[in-house]
Amino acid sequence: MKIVQLTAENVKKLKVVDITPTKDFIQITGKNGSGKTSVLDSISWALGGKDGIQWKPIREGAEKARIRLNLGDVIVERRFTQNGTSLTVENADGARYPSPQAMLDELIGELSFDPLAFAHMDPRKQYDELKRVAKIGVDIEDLEAKSKADFEKRTVKNREAKEVKARAGGYEFKFAADVEQVDVSGLIGKLQTAAQHNADIDRRAERRADTVSLIEDGKKDIAELEVKLAKMREHVAGMEKQVATAEALPKKVNVDELRNLIEEGQQKNVEHERRREQRKLLEQSAAFEGEAEALTKAIAERDAAKAKALQESKMPVPGLSLSDGRVHFGGVPFNQCSSAEQLRTSVAIAMAANPKLRVIRIKDGSLLDDDGLKLIAEQAKENDYQIWIERVDTSGKIGIVMEDGEVARDNETSTAA
């Protein structure tokens, strides 16, 4: 479905305009302020609903305005008064649709999508516009932002896990396996008791040695002290008896063995503590690795959700994709494609987004060179689309020439206004 005839009265800068296009590539030309944009806006306002209409649609000095679009099978008429706007839609037999805007909403696609404007947008705006046209069902930016944050967190966790595991691997141990903690304090107590015990034995042995010495001295004195012999003998006999009946000295404790046990116990305790620290570090490393794995899983799930959303979305042209806040085409950022490729793809997007009403509006057509105009005209012909394009031109020899809100010349049919 295309525009068979456009009639507009008192719309913006227009007085009375009646255009019956004979070609699919319709150039609306003229000087700035001549009413070119008003022609294209008339198409949009007739079809797109009152929300898109500017606050002052009626030409200065007029009381009312009217737009009539003949689409072949459907005739659309929108009227404007100082109190608002009204819409009627009739079929070819003159029967009116009870819900005209609802009927048009099913008919039109993305009539507001301007392929030339899209091709010249910055990457961020292109991304937002294509996401709107393709009707992506998820917030891709939110998914990408969360995945980026989790990726950074995962990097930190993996680095922490690696560092902690490296610290754990730096431990060296003397004993072949982990050992129970040794009661070194108890062994030291035993050592002190054994030392005291041995010292007591040494004192007792020293006293006994002194006693034996006294006995020997007494025997020497006997010869010289015969007067005291009897008493001395009795005394000596008593001491001999004491020595003879004394219990045997106990065996000395091996303190070297205790010292060895203490030294080994201290070493085992140090190693026990180091093994405990190592286990703690390994547990910490495993926790970091677990967090990193969870982040990896979250990133993968969001990537899958994003991929599913893009797969299920109605991407208008094969090869288009959205990623990192940019539009990509064929895996290449859209703004890195050639100018011709960008323009061709933008027009293809517009066509795919308007499958029923095969009409595309292009403003600022003066930005296009001859090659660009030729490319768009060829696409319109190849795909059976009607393209209305606005261009600044002062020659009066190109397209439908606007002057002071009216058609001054229609070069398509070579009839003067």
Domain extent for 48: 5-111+354-416
Same domain as 295, residue 167: yes
Rounded Cα distance between 127 and 377, Å, is 26
Strand order in the sheet with 406-410: 359-362, 386-392, 25-30, 400-403, 406-410, 415-416
Residue 317 lies in a domain: no
Tell me, yes or no, whether 203 and 303 share the same domain. Answer: yes
Model pLDDT, residue 415: 44
Q: Is 218 among the domain residues?
A: yes
Q: How many CB atoms lie within 10 A of CB 354?
A: 22
- Is residue 178 within 8 Å of 272, Cβ to Cβ? yes
Do the beta carbons of residue 342 and residue 327 sit within 8 Å?
Answer: no
Q: Are 149 and 126 within 8 A, CB to CB?
A: no
| 87 plus 174 within the same structural domain | no
3-state SS, residue 3: coil
Give the pLDDT of residue 36.
93
* Non-local CB neighbours of 205 within 8 Å, separated by 6+ positions: 249
Cα separation, 158 vs 140, whole angstroms:
26
pLDDT < 70 regions, the chain: 222-223, 225, 228-229, 310-314, 414-417
Instruction: Give the side-chain half-sphere CA count within 13 A for 314.
Output: 12
Between CA 114 and CA 181 the distance in angstroms is 80
**Phi, psi angle pair for 380, to nearest 5°:** -60, -45
Spatial separation of the C-alpha atoms in residues 342 and 394, rounded to whole Å: 28
How many C-beta neighbours within 10 Å does residue 317 have? Answer: 18
Q: For residue 334, is it within any domain?
A: no
Find residue 233's DSSP bridge partners.
none
Cα–Cα distances in angstroms (integers) from residue 365 to residues 12, 149, 289, 372, 393, in the given order: 20, 43, 57, 9, 10
* 131: exposed, middle or buried (Cβ count in 10 Å: 0-12, 13-18, 19+): middle
pLDDT computed for residue 308 by the predictor: 77
Q: Containing H/E element for 76?
A: strand 74-81
Inter-axis angle of helices 229-245 and 184-224, to 10 degrees? 150
Q: What is the pLDDT of residue 314?
A: 66
Tokens read off for 182: 């040794």
Q: For the stretch 213-222, what's the b/e string if a residue is b when 16 or more beta carbons lie within 10 angstroms of its beta carbon? A: eeeeebeeee
Kindly report the CA angle at 200 between 196 and 204, in degrees rounded to 5?
170
Which among 278, 312, 346 is the end of a domain? 312
Residues in contact with 321: Cβ distance below 8 Å, sequence separation at least 6, in sequence order = 310, 315, 327, 328, 329, 331
Read off the CATH number of the domain in which 93 is found: 3.40.50.300
Element (H, E) at 285: helix 255-312
- Number of residues in the chain: 417
Total domains present in the chain? 2
Q: Are residues 60 and 152 in the same domain?
A: no
- What confidence tens digit (pLDDT) does each residue in 23-70 have? 999 999 999 999 999 999 999 899 887 778 888 899 999 999 999 999
Question: Is residue 100 domain-shared with residue 177, that is, in the same domain?
Answer: no
What pLDDT shows up at residue 55? 84
CB atoms within 10 A of CB 251: 7
For residue 55, what is the DSSP state?
S
- The H or E element that residue 198 is part of is helix 184-224
What is the amino acid identity at position 233?
A: R
111: Cβ–Cβ under 8 A, 6 or more apart, which residues? 43, 44, 47, 48, 354, 357, 359, 361
Residue 291 sits in the same domain as residue 188:
yes
Answer whether residue 319 is part of any domain: no
Whole-number Å distance between alpha carbons of 282 and 161: 9
Q: With respect to residue 94, please indicate whether it lies within any of the assigned structural domains.
A: yes
Same domain, 30 and 89: yes
